[in-house]
Amino acid sequence: MTRVIIVRHGQSTYNTEGRIQGRTNTSSLTKKGSEDALRTGQVLSNIPFAAIYSSPLTRAKQTAEIIHNQLTGHPVPSVEITDYLLEVDLPLWEGMLSGEVKEKFPLDYSVWKERPQELLMTISDANGTRDHSPILSLYEQARQFWQHILSHPSGRTILVVAHNGINRALISTALGIPPSRYHAIQQSNCGISVLNFSGGLGEPVQLESMNQTQHVGDILPSLRPNHQGFRLLLVRHGETEWNRQGKFQGQIDVPLNDHGRVQATKAREFLKTISLDFAFSSTMARPRETAEIILQDHPRVSLQLLDGLREISHGKWEGKFESEIDQDFPGELHRWRTIPAQVQMPEGENLQEVYERSVGSWQEILQTAQSQNLAIGLVVAHDATNKTLLCHILGLSLENFWNFRQGNGAVSVIDYPQGADSSPVLQAMNITGHLSGGVLDKTAAGAL
């Protein structure tokens, strides 16, 4: 496995002014940006990196250098500068305020927001006049970076320090998120994301976590400018005894174990200052108890239960260990791990059935938030349920099911910036720092 830890640069002068940066190099870190880079280096300090890559632009190089100076306890590689990590190229907009771009280029700005893959800029340079596609070029650049670093032997941990746009493209090309969904994920200043590659680009990859910001003092990523909709916090239930043992539970109603209650309590402490307006849970005991523990600090919020959020039915697999499933159903566990959307659980469900009922419940939650003008809601469910919802949110096939990690007690953040009918934005995924104290997910994966 190759682990890649991706960091966005710290706050820059252009960030504070609300200016389009692109590849302009006139922006540098603010005092806060430098302080946050220092904190990022401290939280990464004990991870043994085999290589460190940075964009050549000043704001990223400064961030990489500050982080590099905090790495201790093992041989620390030097920072390698690469043009593969340059920010998205927006030559006609660089240095302009977002409002100025919207006013001067209204049609292009609308395309940028709604169909970013279709944006074209006509530019003139030494090679003549040509049409430039910022997003399609950026995605090709990201693919080239992955091909470059994944050609090395696996088993390494790599640090990447770059920018919002290229970091989104890196995550998207790894997972297969199309350029049309460029705005569907976000990267905060000094936000940390973790990808685990089993081989080269196109081979199985897992997004372990995305856009962690707790180390810089932001419990959750901040709301984007002009946010007028609502935010959902998607949580996986705490650990059960069957999770710990690695036994498939599915729709057998196994309660939390003591460790699971501790995890739920840590999630409660993590979210205690968040102003929750509403809460939903699967009808099953383990997510319901997790939600009830979290809501102890939100006594005015009543918990609503939705049967569509329950865990996948594994049918005859339920109550069995992997070794027993392999013996009783030869080859089926391998198919589940490699082509999950094609597996029909014996006397149970397939992923399409889980998708239809979980997305149906999700839509019900969206309409509740919209109709009652609510701002922040809690949704507690299960591993498979959450993964199918993440596929839905990012417009991915159910064959991408295993691309997402969901630790027991982990929190993901999904915004609907303009309400229920707007495109969702995955702001953060699988936050587990409140459980482990670090940036890596140390929760037991367990069986579903």
Annotated binding site for substrate: 236-243, 286
Cβ neighbours of residue 43 under 8 Å, at least 6 residues apart?
192, 215, 438, 439
Locus of tokens 């691309």: 403
Nearest Cα to 259, choosing from 244, 247, 269?
244
Please give the angle made by the CA atoms of 236, 237 and 239, to the nearest 5 degrees: 120
Beta bridge partners of 411: 235, 431
What is the Cα–Cα distance from 146 to 352, expressed in whole angstroms? 31
AA letter at 230: F
Say which DSSP state 296 is in. Answer: G
Catalytic site residue from 9, 237, 382, 434: 237
Catalytic site residue from 311, 314, 349, 434: 311
**C-alpha dist (Å) from residue 336 to 322, 325, 333, 398:** 11, 11, 5, 12
Cα 347 from chain centroid?
Answer: 33
Cβ neighbours of residue 409 under 8 Å, at least 6 residues apart?
235, 236, 237, 238, 239, 260, 263, 264, 266, 267, 290, 432, 434, 435, 443
What is the Cα–Cα distance from 228 to 223, expressed in whole angstroms? 10
Length of the chain: 448
AA letter at 159: L
Rg (CA), the chain: 22
Q: Are 276 and 251 in contact (CB under 8 A)?
A: no
DSSP secondary structure string for all residues of 151-194: TS-SS-EEEEEE-HHHHHHHHHHHHT--GGGGGGB---TT-EEE
Q: Are 25 and 58 in contact (CB under 8 A)?
A: yes
What is the Cα–Cα distance from 218 to 439, expressed in whole angstroms? 14
AA letter at 56: P
Q: Annotated catalytic, 392? A: no
Please give the angle made by the CA atoms of 163, 87 and 392, to the nearest 5 degrees: 65
Q: Annotated catalytic, 114? A: no
What is the Cα–Cα distance from 306 to 144, expressed in whole angstroms? 44
Q: Are 357 and 255 in contact (CB under 8 A)?
A: no
| Catalytic residue set | 237, 311
